[in-house]
């Protein structure tokens, strides 16, 4: 006769405790991972949100002959160091464009220096005590405040934090990704169609398949070496341009698109192919008219994910020189350009504290775009998911 329930239950106590421990540990791991995400996003928000605001001060600007020659003279010396040098530098130009300004003196809201900006945001600043008192006074009088930072979205890079923006990097990203997708999407889809629908099952096909899987796992920086040695040094594609960046990223995105497309093609049941063959379609017609349309959502989802990956890639672009300083937006594929993650990298290396918030601000923008891209891919997968 075996043991009774009570005996067994008593023996089991210890084992149940162990079992519970595994459950809590594994749950803890998941919570830990989620906590990392929360801490990380929180940290970026705290550091980056201030970047969307920028200090402005109201000062008296006198447009005189002297300020035409020496722009800083346009504002009185008490507040001179509180105004952005970038703004002052523009005064002669504005006077040339608007001659009626000459001789007038106006109260104007002007861009404040980054140090004032940091001071108003409560961060460490290099302002002297008397300058701080001046800013306090201006603030009390309602003559210094934080406003929405449009410039961050409309201007290019600058050595002065208060002037720096992400526009040129954003445009560079768009140009680069256009090249990337123009190259990798057709080649990727064609490769996948070939492998799934046409390729004979021979050694070459197997080599191609193994090769694609390996390519997906090659460290990204090595693609940069390829871009440098082959595109730039051998084919003479101009350095630092969206063209060479896009071509390099295209090779990295290729395996992602191929693998996603193959999965999508494979999920179309063979019965559909047989039905189409049955009504006399040729192999290509079957693919073009039946298989491809049915797998399009899967292909698009995979491509969006590939696009998002390419958008966040930095290492290979550094190697091919896309970390250039680009103050002006350029819309050419063959001019030097930078991309969002490269801009983030550049700013992260700047010594001024004000650039930390620019960096985090840029990160927030990039993350917002990436998360919406990925979310739309997930949404598409859900919406068009089909069970056969």
Partner 1 sequence: MQTNQIFLLFCGVLLALGLAAFFMARAKATRTRASGTAMYAQPDQYAWFSVLTTAGPAVLVGVVGAFVMLLVGAEIPTPYLLSGSLVIAAVGLLFGMRQVRPDFHARQAIEKVIQVILATAAMVSILTTLGILISIVFEAIRFFQIQSFWDFITGTTWDPGASFLAAAGRADEAGSAAQFGSIPLFAGTFLITLIAMLVAIPVGLFAAIYMAEFAPDRIRTLAKPVLEVLAGIPTVVYGFFAAITVAPIVVDIAGWLGLEASYSNALAPGLVMGIMIIPFISSLSDDVITAVPDSMRQGSLALGMTKAETIKSVVLPASLPGIISASLLAVSRALGETMIVVMAAGMRPNLTANPLEDMTTVTVRIVAALTGDQEFESAETLSAFALGLVLFVVTLALNMVSVIMIRRFREKYRSNNL
Partner 2 sequence: MNQQNADIETRPTHKHERTPGEPVNRNEDANHELSVRVRDLKLWYGNNQALKNINIDIYQKNVTALIGPSGCGKSTFLRCLNRMNDLIRSVRIQGLIEMDGRDVNDAKMDEVALRRRVGMVFQKPNPFPKSIYENIAYAPRMHDLVSRKAEQDELVERALRDAGLWNEVKDKLQEPGTSLSGGQQQRLCIARAIAVKPDVILMDEPTSALDPISTATIEDLMDKLKKQFTIVTVTHNMQQAARVADYTAFFHLGELIEYNDTRMMFSNPHTKKAEDYITGRYG
User: Near partner 2 by CB under 8 A, which window of 3-11, 122-130, 230-238, 362-370?
Assistant: 3-11
Question: Segment 324-343, which members bind partner 1 (CB under 8 A)?
Answer: 341-342
Do residues 36 and 130 lie in contact, with contact meaning Cβ atoms separated by under 8 Å? no
- Where are the strands (E) in the chain, listed by range? 53-62, 105-111, 144-148
Starting at the edge strand found earlier in the chain, the sheet holding 144-148 runs 105-111, 53-62, 144-148
Q: Does 369 bind partner 1 (CB under 8 A)?
A: no
Q: Does 21 bind partner 1 (CB under 8 A)?
A: yes
User: Near partner 1 by CB under 8 A, which window of 72-80, 96-104, 291-299, 304-312?
Assistant: 304-312
CB atoms within 10 A of CB 111: 24
Question: Segment 111-150, which members bind partner 2 (CB under 8 A)?
Answer: none
Instruction: Write out the two tokens for 128.
Output: 């002297």
Question: Segment 152-171, which members bind partner 1 (CB under 8 A)?
Answer: none
Do residues 244 and 342 lie in contact, with contact meaning Cβ atoms separated by under 8 Å? no
Report how far residue 30's alpha carbon sits from residue 34's, in angstroms, rounded to the nearest whole number.
6
11 binds, among partner 2, partner 1, none (CB under 5 to 8 A by kind): partner 2
Residue with tokens 């490769």: 191
Residue with tokens 């008192």: 133
Minimum CB distance to partner 2, residue 15 (Å): 7
User: Near partner 2 by CB under 8 A, which window of 5-13, 28-36, 157-165, 201-209?
Assistant: 5-13
State the burial class of residue 123 (Cβ atoms within 10 Å of its Cβ: 0-12, 13-18, 19+): middle
Do residues 55 and 112 lie in contact, with contact meaning Cβ atoms separated by under 8 Å? yes
Q: Does 1 bind partner 1 (CB under 8 A)?
A: no
Number of amino acids touching partner 1 (CB under 8 A): 93
Minimum CB distance to partner 1, residue 199 (Å): 7
Q: Does 8 bind partner 2 (CB under 8 A)?
A: yes
Q: Does 360 bind partner 1 (CB under 8 A)?
A: yes
Residue with tokens 């001179």: 80
Q: Does 312 bind partner 1 (CB under 8 A)?
A: yes
Minimum CB distance to partner 1, residue 121 (Å): 16
In the complex, the residues that contact partner 2 under the rule CB under 8 A are 2-5, 8-9, 11-12, 15-16
């Amino acid at each position: 006769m075996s043991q009774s329930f009570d005996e067994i239950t008593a023996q089991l106590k210890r084992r149940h405790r162990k079992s519970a421990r595994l459950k809590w540990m594994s749950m803890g791991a998941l919570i830990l991972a989620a906590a990392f995400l929360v801490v990380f996003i929180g940290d970026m928000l705290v550091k980056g949100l201030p970047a969307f605001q920028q200090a402005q001060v109201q000062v008296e600007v006198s447009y005189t002959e002297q300020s035409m020659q020496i722009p800083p003279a346009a504002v009185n010396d008490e507040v001179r160091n509180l105004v952005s040098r970038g703004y002052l530098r523009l005064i002669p130009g504005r006077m040339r464009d608007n001659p009626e300004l000459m001789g007038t003196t106006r109260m104007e809201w002007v861009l404040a220096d980054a140090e004032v900006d940091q001071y108003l945001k409560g961060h460490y600043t290099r302002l002297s005590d008397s300058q701080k008192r001046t800013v306090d006074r201006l603030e009390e009088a309602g003559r210094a405040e934080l406003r929405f930072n449009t410039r961050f979205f409309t201007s290019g890079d600058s050595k002065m934090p208060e002037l720096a923006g992400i526009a040129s990097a954003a445009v560079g990203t768009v140009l680069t990704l256009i090249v990337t997708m123009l190259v990798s999407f057709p080649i990727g889809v064609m490769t996948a169609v070939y492998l799934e629908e046409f390729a004979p099952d021979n050694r070459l096909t197997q080599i191609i398949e193994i090769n694609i899987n390996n390519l997906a796992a090659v460290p990204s920086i090595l693609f940069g070496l390829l871009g440098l040695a082959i595109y730039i040094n051998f084919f003479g594609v101009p350095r630092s341009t969206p063209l060479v960046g896009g071509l390099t990223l295209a090779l990295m995105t290729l395996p992602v698109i191929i693998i996603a497309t193959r999965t999508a093609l494979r999920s179309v049941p063979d019965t559909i192919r047989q039905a189409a063959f049955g009504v006399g379609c040729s192999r290509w017609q079957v693919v073009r008219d039946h298989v491809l349309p049915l797998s399009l959502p899967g292909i698009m989802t995979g491509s969006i994910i590939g696009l998002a990956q390419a958008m966040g890639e930095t290492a290979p672009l550094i190697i091919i020189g896309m970390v250039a300083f680009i103050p002006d937006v350029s819309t050419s594929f063959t001019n030097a350009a930078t991309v969002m993650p490269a801009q983030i990298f550049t700013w992260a290396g700047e010594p001024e504290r004000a650039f930390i918030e620019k960096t985090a601000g840029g990160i927030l923008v990039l993350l917002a775009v990436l998360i919406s891209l990925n979310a739309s891919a997930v949404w598409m997968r859900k919406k068009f998911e089909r069970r056969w």
